Structure 1
Amino acid sequence: MKAYHSPFKVYPTSWDKKNASNLKKDWEIRYTYFCDDYPQGKIIRFKGMNHCKSLSEKQDHTRMLMDNEIQALSKGFNCRILQN
Structure 2
Amino acid sequence: IPSIEKKNQKLQTIRGMVPNLIYPPDGCRFHPRCDYRLDICDKVRPKWIEIDNKYFIACHLFDPDYKSSPKYQWSETATKESYKV
- Larger % of strand: which? 1
- Larger % of helix: which? 1
Structure of higher RCO (CA pairs closer than 8 Å, 6+ residues apart): 1
Compute the TM-score of the two structures, normalised by the length of structure 1.
Answer: 0.28
Compute the TM-score of the two structures, normalised by the length of structure 2.
Answer: 0.28
